[in-house]
Every structure is written in structure tokens, then in C-alpha cells.
Amino acid sequence: MGELLARFRGPLLFFTLAFFSLMTMLADYRALRGREHALPWWSSRVVELAIPVQKAIAAPFEAARLLWQDYISLIGVASENQELRRRIAALEEERLQYQEALVASGHLAQIAAMRDTFTMPMLPAEVIGQDVSTWLRAILIDRGRHHGVYSGMPVVTEQGLVGLVTATSERAAKVMLLADRQLAADGIVQRTRTRGIVRGIGNDRLEFEFVPDELTLRAGDVVMTSGIGGVYPKGLRIGEIESVDEAPANRFLQRVRIRPSVEFRRIEQIFVLLWRGHTMELLYAEETLPVSAPAEAKVPKP
Amino acid sequence: MLFLFGVLCVMAQGALAKIIPPQYVPDLGLLMAFGAGLTLGAVDGLLLAAALGYVADTLGGSLLGQWALVYIIMCQATRILTQHLNFQGIFYHALFVFGLTFVCEFALAGSVWLFQEESPTAGVLTTALAIHAVANAVTAPLFGQLIIQLAARLESDRRRDLQLNGQRTGK
């Protein structure tokens, strides 16, 4: 018996480990779908150990890249400056026109009050690592529960929606990107108010699903979060429609591709919205949110 | 020692993916599993691959055990090939890793489907995956050699320590 075990210990260990990993996957899946998703203690330690190591590894490359960027940006700085001045002037003029129109209709005060209501605290964070897999799209950030970051909080950049916090440790968190096939967002087309589900389809492109065929969408239309579904707040920019399939397989629904406004492969700085929608509140009910957000989280209104 | 080196590699790949597009970054954890299959025994190799897989799962967006499963498949496949074929040379190593990168991504996708209510809208095969497979294949022979050298060095150190201990107890 002992001889037999020794002879087949390789295959035996292989199947045992494969079975064990399947079991841990199942347990992790249940935890993710359950009411709490703080990382296990050993996992938290590994993640927190990774923060300084990954920062140290990235530092020289980062410095070289910034140096190169600065050098490149100097080349066209004069013409760019001129172009920017021209654009500022045009935008300023446009802004004044809008302001004029709003004041005239007496809505400015109401809109200002509404902005106050909707402003939510944001916490800046740095991306310290990213998945290399082409199938799974997630990032690791250097803020965790200690900073008020909890699972289910949306993550944005100045360009738009990035994804959702899915797991946290004391000082780090995992963020699943919107480009991941497992994540979806309820979106709305700004021009036509058409609703649908936005989902990643690989190669960092998104698809707008369940759009009825009779609605006329066109390339360039802006897609934003609808706020329905209780996961993301309303009005976060997702991207622009890239193409509309004229001959879809399903004749009742259109196949709409979206170019995300965020370049998922080049994310460096992000903001965690210290807010959870009602669906996320229900899902992660056992993870208690702080009564008030940390002081550093309260950034001025955009 | 090899485990610590592997952990460092897994952390390095995550940090590099932040700077250059992730598909161009070789999967160093996967290559460690490949190296473990080339050099280590069944037990050591599989345990190292599984442990590194769990570290990769912790640092990435996968379920705990997803990468571990992929790494032990990689390690075992390499071991089987090394035992039954004359699996030597840069070209064969690169070709094997190129092919297995696709297999591993399919395994990942399969394990996602296993736990999802609905299947994803697109297939696994993308340009990014092809680029990633090439990046892995190019790095594989070099990395394989590095692991072989490192393992040999550790083994000779261990033997020297054993000899020294034997001499001391002999005295």
C-alpha cells in the first residue's frame, strides 16, 4: 500500500490540490455573493506586504516614464499652449452663455442646491497592481477599510466610471474593472435616454446589451450610469458608442459597442466614492460603513 | 527560497502591468510553475505551484483557487512532458508555454463560467491573449533556465550544509 502511494504520489497530490482549489473557489464565490467580503487574514497580510514591494518595483519604471513624458510634452508645449488658450476662451464664452440662460430662467439656485445634495465624498487612491490575465480585469489599490473603503463602493477617475470595490483588507482593496466580463452597469444614452446593461467583452471594450431594435442610436452618443439598480450613482460617464450592429443575430435587440471613456490599461490614480447604493448596502450589510467619511476623503466639489 | 522568489515575481508582474499594458507583461507566476515542473520533484513542484497560485489569487481579481488550479495544471503538464519526451531546447519550451497560455486562459474562463449564472458575451480568444501568449513564450526559455540554475544552486548549498553537518557530528 505504502509502495503504491509512493508510486502515485504525484498524480494523487495533483488531484488533491485541484480538488482543494475548486473547494476554495466555491467558498470564495459564496463569500463574494454573501454578505461580507473582507479578505481572510493571511490574504490581507499578503496584500499589505505587496503594497510597498510593488511600489518599490514600479518606482524606477514610473520615474523613467514620467521623465520621458515630460520631455515629450516639452516638444509641443508652445503650440499646445496656444490651442489650449483658444479652447479656454471658447469654453468660457460657452459657459457664460449657459449661465446667462440659467439665470434668466431662474434655475441656477435650484441647480446649485441639487449639486450640494448629490456631491459625495471621494477618496483618492493609487493603483499598485493590475491583473496580467486577459480574462480577469482587476486592480489593487492602496486604500482599505482603515481609510473608509468597503466592498460595493464605486470607483471613478476624472474620465468616468472605473469599476467596483470587491474585496478589502485594512489598507488595500481589490477593484473589479468595468471591462471585466463579470461586472455590469445599468447605463443610459444621454441623447435618447435609452437604457441598457453595459458589460465588458474583452480587449477593454464594452457592450450595451438589451437595447430594443427600434431605437436609433449612433456612434458618438454618450453613455452614462442610469442610477437604476442601486449600485452606481446616476450620471457617471461610461463611454461613447463606437458602433451599432445593423444586422444583429437577435432581430429584436441591437448590438451596440461602447468605447470606454476610461483607458483601463493605463489607470494610475483613481477615486473611491465613499458611498454604497441600496443594492450594495443589502449585499454587504455586515460590513459597517463609518458614520462619517475620513477627513482626507472630503475633497472639494468638482 | 524558490517560493519567496516566486512571490516576488508575482508581485513584480502586477506592478509592471500598471506601467506597461498587461498583455505585454509575461505571467511570471505561470512561468515559475513551468520552471517548477521542469526542475523540481512532483511534491515540491506542485506545492510550490499551488502556493504561488494562491498568492496570485490574493493579489488579482480571481476567485481564491483559480490561479492555483491553473498553476498546478501548468506544473503537472510540464512534468509529464519532461518525463515522457525529450523536452529540451529553447524552441520547444517557448512553443509549449505559448500553447499552454491559451489552455490556461480557457481554464480560467471555464472556472468563471462554472460559477456564473450567465455566460459571458464574448469568447476567450482575443488579440490581447495572443500578445500575452507571445510575451510568455519569449520569456519562458530564459525564465526556465533561471529556475533551473536557482534550483541547482539551492540543491548544492543544501548538500554542502549536510556534508558540513555530517563532518561536525563525525568529529
Rounded to whole angstroms, the Cα distance separating B7 from A124 reads 28
Looking at residue A181, what is its pLDDT?
78
Query: What whole-number percentage of chain B has pLDDT above 90?
Result: 4
Residue B101 buriedness (CB in 10 A; 0-12 / 13-18 / 19+): buried
* Model confidence pLDDT, tens digit, residues A173-214: 889 898 887 788 888 888 888 888 888 876 778 888 777 766
Per mean pLDDT, which range of A36-45, A92-101, A206-215, B92-101 is the poorest?
Answer: A92-101
pLDDT confidence bin for A291, thresholds 50/70/90: very low
In angstroms, what CA-CA distances link B108 with A88, B36, B64? Answer: 48, 20, 12
ipTM of the complex: 0.79
Q: Which residues of B touch A62 (CB under 8 A)?
A: 19
Helical pair A41-75 and B2-19, crossing angle rounded to 10 deg: 40
The pLDDT score that the predictor gives to residue A101 is 65
DSSP three-state, residue A200: strand
Cβ–Cβ contact B108 with A under 8 A? yes
CB contact under 8 A, A199 and B64: no
Q: Average pLDDT in the B11-35 region?
A: 85
Minimum-distance CB partner of B62 among A130, A136, A177: A136
B24 phi, psi to nearest 5 deg: -85, -10
Average pLDDT over residues B81-104: 82
The mean pLDDT value of chain A amounts to: 77
Does B22 contact chain A (CB < 8 Å)?
yes
d(CA A15, CA A110): 65
- Percentage of chain B lying above the pLDDT 70 cut: 89
Question: B27 to chain A: which residues are within 8 Å by CB?
Answer: 132-133
By C-alpha distance, the chain B residue nearest A56 is: B15
DSSP codes of every residue in B24-55: GS--HHHHHHHHHHHHS-HHHHHHHHHHHHHH
pLDDT, tens only, A254-271? 778 889 988 887 788 888
Hey, are the CB atoms on A136 and B132 less than 8 Å from each other? no
pLDDT score of A295 = 38
pLDDT of A11 higher than 80: yes
pLDDT band at A300; cut points 50, 70, 90 = very low
Residue B94 C-alpha cell reads as: 517557448
For helices B28-39 and B90-115, angle between their N-to-C axes, nearest 10 degrees: 120
Res A299: pLDDT: 41
pLDDT at A110: 55
Of A181, A194, A191, give the one whose Cα is nearest residue A228.
A194
Contact by Cβ (8 Å): B74, B37: yes
**pLDDT tens by residue, A73-110:** 677 777 777 788 778 877 876 776 676 566 556 655 55
Q: Name every chain A residue with its beta carbon within 8 A of the beta carbon of B136.
A: none
Q: What is the pTM of this model?
A: 0.73
Tell me which chain B residue has its CA closest to the CA of residue A134: B129
CA angle A42, A47, A49 (to 5 degrees): 95
3-state SS assignment for residue A126: strand
B124 inside 8 A of chain A by CB: yes
Cβ–Cβ below 8 Å for B42 and A9: yes
Place of cell 453595459: A198
User: What is the structure's pLDDT at B116?
Assistant: 61
Give residue B50's pLDDT band: very low, low, confident or very high (50, 70, 90): very high
Across the range B138-154, mean pLDDT stands at: 84
Mean pLDDT of B95-104: 86
Query: Residue A225 above 80 pLDDT?
Result: yes
- For A199, residues 6+ apart whose C-beta sits below 8 A from its C-beta are A181, A183, A184, A185, A206, A207, A209, B121
Describe the crossing of helices B2-19 and B28-39 by its angle, rounded to 10 degrees: 150
Looking at residue A252, its amino acid is F
